[in-house]
Structure 1
Amino acid sequence: MNHATRTPLLVTAERSATQDDMVQDLERHYLLMVDYLRGVPEFTEMSLPDQEQLAQRRFLPFYWLKLTQYTWKTKCAGICLANGSFYPGSLEHQPCPDVTRLVSRFDTLLPIYSWLRLDEKEMALLTFIILFHDGVPDLSAGGRVKARAVGQLFLKVLHYHMRRKDGPVDYDKLAIRMSRIMLFVNDLTCMTHFSFSNMQVHEIMHVINWKKAVDGRLAWIHG
């Protein structure tokens, strides 16, 4: 059993990642996502099964967003993780073969992220929009209502912020930018099969000890 803690995020891409680096980065970002979620009162009001279901379903889009942000910042030749390492784009330097063409699929996210040039507030709001994006299956009726309401609220706040930040509003440009942001959200949501060799994150998510993750003592059960 491995344990993860809230270690500092180190976005430097100074060395090639090992398999241990990749697992540690997944664990660390799951805790980071928990911190985001627990800052929303409507989430903490959900039942524990709804909380766990939403977290498991929204982790991958959340993780892709963060990796896109890091990779764009460092301009590394691959995918930047938050522990000082990066997953190389070149096959000969990869800790495990990129049989699912992970890097090439990831590269499609970078141009639109670069075009958006999100400021810090927009990035924070987009993170919550992704976490509460509509369409999480298997939530209770009450959980769906809460998740939809939170997602819509953050969308409205983002729209308001974009209207206010650059002086006189060009509504055509605003509409184009909002539409591209939502396309980006959909792209992140569609990338549900994050794979390094035979390590399938969507399968690993089912064995996370949710209560320990919430308490900051994340446990991944292998076996």
Structure 2
Amino acid sequence: ACTTDDIVLLGYMLDDKDNSVKTQALNTLKAFSGIRKFRLKIQEHSIKVLELISTIWDTELHIAGLRLLNNLPLPDYVHPQLRRVMPALMEILQSDYILAQVQAVRLLSYLAQKNDLLYDILNCQVHSNFLNLFQPTQPGSLLYEVLVFAERLSEGRNAPHYRAVKWHYNEQSLHESLFGEESRLADRLLALVIHPEEDVQIQACKVIVSLQYPQDLRSRPSSCQPSRSYFK
């Protein structure tokens, strides 16, 4: 039977010089992470896993590491490291490897729900063509996850406690790409409302609603007024 000693051994394998060995160890840890008694022990390797995916550009390693992280509850003490690796996660999201992109955006969507990380995500620098991720030609699996991410960001930035602070974003930030005055997100969303995959259609509509009506207004339909006219 497997024991915590096996988890410790797999942890040592994460320091192996061979990336394929690291990847194999990550995949095995992912398998073990489904067993409750091992989860806390595996959590101890979270910072190491984040370090690996942010310092080694290897798609298989990224997929394995991100799958593991997405299968674990990430404790608050990992948040400082998460801030440091945010640019790497954003780069993986903007790569051309669908499986890695899907895993990266799932993790980012989870982190976007953490109040102390939301600004770091929104202010993260992205490529000028970031909105290409919302093109109808993207695989449905990626489109859906990117739309979930956009909805969570939209809801997070519209939350009263977030709006209570005057945040400043850099010009190349994710915030400006998605929600800035020059953003073309509205055009992308309208094109996705007629996407052939129903879950993509529905999620695109959810993002549109979250952009038009902040969450606190949606609970009071009679007083709903668009916070800003994205869709004229």
Q: TM-score, normalised by structure 1?
A: 0.28
Q: Which has the higher strand share?
A: 1
Q: TM-score, normalised by structure 2?
A: 0.27
